[in-house]
Structure 1
Amino acid sequence: MGELGWQADVLGNGYEALTLPLGSDGEGDVVATLVRYRPSLGNLVSPFAPAHGVDVLYVHGWSDYFFQTALAEYWHGVGARFHALDLRKYGRSLRDHQTPGYVADLATYDADIEAALAAMGHGENDERPSRRRLLLMGHSTGGLTLSLWAARHPGRASALVLNSPWLEFQTGGVGRAFITPLVQLGARVQPLGTLPQVDLGFYTRSVSAELDGEWSYESRWRPARGFPAHRAWLNAVLEGHAAVAAGLGIEVPILTMLSARSTILPRWNDQMRHTDSVLVVDDIARASVRLGSTVTVARIEGALHDVILSAEAPRRAAYAALTRWLRAYAP
């Protein structure tokens, strides 16, 4: 099956998973899970492909995990080696004794990311560092987490691709400034206190093959209305948003892919099949330019919150935009 520790993954042929022990926290043992795509040897790629010599590490968003096989196949097709990370308490890494998705500081994920990079040959203390270049790709909260990580670890990654990154709160900067003191107080008094459920399941309806979408996945790891959110977790996210608003100073090329429009309503609207029903994309576009010195923003007409889970036409447009960007900025 390959190197010691790698096992067949739930995604089937070509996918392998490696459990990454991370010690323990107040809830017990903690792990992350690295997934890699290794197609058959006959599936060769041109050395002139735009991402030849690149290793990709993908990180999912809130209440999510890696299942997007077409994304792995895309990266292989453009010459990269693809890996995805299920963070602690998500997806393959979630254990029965854990609070799903919970951390009180997004920097906690530094350990998860470092363990994954070490397994990929990009560890910080590797005696023989890889000659391949590292590209990080994150969706939603994963995009925020990787942006903050890249700012704290300059020189490690050569490029950053963000798929609808959660860079600003849905109420905007003014609303964020208003609610932050209240959230901070709640996080200190009752860190695991749950927040009101605001996810009405509309995004799931637009994605799931069991409803109006076309994608099948494990609903235990990606519940219809998301995991319960906790006060300390939201405080960590707001701290991340404030850091982005102040500017992160990332010096490598960044691509942000977003839907052209948002539809955020308290009731179902058919436009949610063709727009972002989670984030205010105009606010995210503005926040993106504060990430670093070289930022490209691609707005995809008809795209969902996860642009690579959109309908076929916007999905093709997103991959085409990514390929164009790679030809200009690939590390």
Structure 2
Amino acid sequence: MIQWRPDVLGDGFEQLTFELGPDDDPGLGDGKGATAGESDAQQPPVLVGTLIRSLPAPRTLWQRVTGQRRDLEDVDVLYLHGWSDYFFQTDLARFWTDRGARFFAVDLRRYGRSLRPGQTAGYVDDLDDYDAEIEFALAEMRASSPRNAGDRKVVLLGHSTGGLVLSLWASRHPGVVDALILNSPWLELQLSTRGRQVIAPIVNLGAKLSPLEGIPQLDYGFYSRAVRQVGPQDEVARINAEWKPDQSHPVHTGWLRAILAGHDRVYRGLNIDVPVCVLLSTRSALPARWSEELTRTDTVLDVDGIARAALKLGRSVTIERIPEALHDVFMSSVEPRCDAFDRLERFAKGWRRAIG
């Protein structure tokens, strides 16, 4: 039986935990797994996902009497977070619900609300495994659709790695959703296409021999520092440091192999059959020391490389470049954040009116 319960984000948000079967994490029991509480040595953790929802307020009496409808009342949105992340962006949810849409988000297996004791945080060795979470969420969204609601439109909204996952899924499942919105999607490696092709054989071999072998990473916590400094402070104050650490979760060869395989599929060209909107900063930086300039740029991805890769997603791709935006454009300082929401609204309303 479906059992929604109050979410950690408070009023207006609920969560639903769903099981995905026994956990086959290769790191279980070897001391390499991340924990989110006290471990249970007797029972291996169950693999779970978590669906979060925020529903729009009912129409006012005046709206009902006059027959007025909000712009996106027949729209459902499904959000997917990025690497070393989880869903906490309440302003983003309210953007949609204020316009009448229903908003859903998934904390994927081994992330955030779905991370269980002993599991290797964020680990997966095939991005297609996330089909289970996406399809559960879409099924629940359909099952919980308001009566007499008619044909509801579905928008997929992905950030960073979540944008890569949703792009691959949408290409493999034509005709299921109606639009795809990507917030700084991780569509190509920071080392460029050539760099990815050079390291891929080494990573693939390492993943076969030891999928949980650690890979050195140069995350100095600058992006998290920038978010804390300029992001919306009510959201920043709620960030769970175990679920979204200042420095990202450890990177393993098995996981990186899955990411590189996803990048290669994008490079070869996807066939997404719905309009795509890509939101990106205008600048990137990969610094070795902190400066205030890092509060006005993407310090995670090569945004120019992402913009080029985005053109291979499908037949209709809109690229929005936002000056002074961070990696998560909706966590930027006030001016670029407002710019990002304005561009999102322009796309969402224009798309909705265009499809009738």
Q: Into which bin does the TM-score normalised by the smaller protein fall?
A: over 0.9
Distance in 2 separating the partners of 1:203 and 1:280: 14
Q: Which amino acid in 2 is paired with 1:61?
A: G
Moved more, 212-221 or 274-283: 212-221
In structure 1, what is the equivalent of residue 302 of structure 2? Answer: 280
Deviations 1:61-120, CA, capped at 9 Å, x for gaps: 000000000000001122211001100100000001211000000001001111111111
**Does the residue aligned with 1:250 lie in a helix, a strand or coil?**
coil
Aligned counterpart in structure 1 of residue 199 of structure 2, from 179, 190, 215: 179
Distance in 2 separating the partners of 1:240 and 1:4: 33
Identity across matched positions, percent:
50
Q: Which amino acid in 2 is paired with 1:142?
A: G
Aligned counterpart in structure 2 of residue 55 of structure 1, from 76, 79, 86: 76
Unpaired segments ≥5 residues, structure 2: 26-44
**Does the residue aligned with 1:271 lie in a helix, a strand or coil?**
helix
Does 1:67 pair with 2:65?
no
Unpaired segments ≥5 residues, structure 1: none
Judged with a 3 Å threshold, the aligned counterparts in structure 2 of structure 1 residues 15 and 194 are, in CA distance, closer, same or farther, namely same
In the TM superposition, 1:234-273 aligns within 5 A as: 234-273=256-295
CA contact (8 A) 1:50 1:323 kept: no
Q: CA RMSD in A?
A: 2.0
TM, length-normalised to structure 2: 0.86
Distance in 2 separating the partners of 1:242 and 1:120: 31
Q: Give the deviation of 1:176 after TM superposition.
A: 0.6
In structure 2, what is the equivalent of residue 12 of structure 1? Answer: 10
Q: Give the deviation of 1:4 after TM superposition.
A: 4.4
Distance in 2 separating the partners of 1:200 and 1:278: 11
In structure 1, what is the equivalent of residue 21 of structure 2? Answer: 23
In structure 1, what is the equivalent of residue 35 of structure 2? Answer: none
Distance in 1 separating the partners of 2:112 and 2:218: 22
Aligned counterpart in structure 2 of residue 221 of structure 1, from 238, 243, 248: 243
In structure 2, what is the equivalent of residue 191 of structure 1? Answer: 211
Distance in 2 separating the partners of 1:326 and 1:236: 31
Deviations 1:264-286, CA, capped at 9 Å, x for gaps: 11221221101100001000001
Judged with a 3 Å threshold, the aligned counterparts in structure 2 of structure 1 residues 129 and 144 are, in CA distance, closer, same or farther, namely farther
CA contact (8 A) 1:263 1:271 kept: no
CA contact (8 A) 2:57 2:97 kept: no
Q: How many residues align?
A: 323
Judged with a 3 Å threshold, the aligned counterparts in structure 2 of structure 1 residues 287 and 7 are, in CA distance, closer, same or farther, namely same
Q: Computing the radius of gyration over CA atoms, which structure comes out larger, 1 or 2?
A: 2
Distance in 2 separating the partners of 1:191 and 1:47: 55
Judged with a 3 Å threshold, the aligned counterparts in structure 2 of structure 1 residues 13 and 286 are, in CA distance, closer, same or farther, namely same
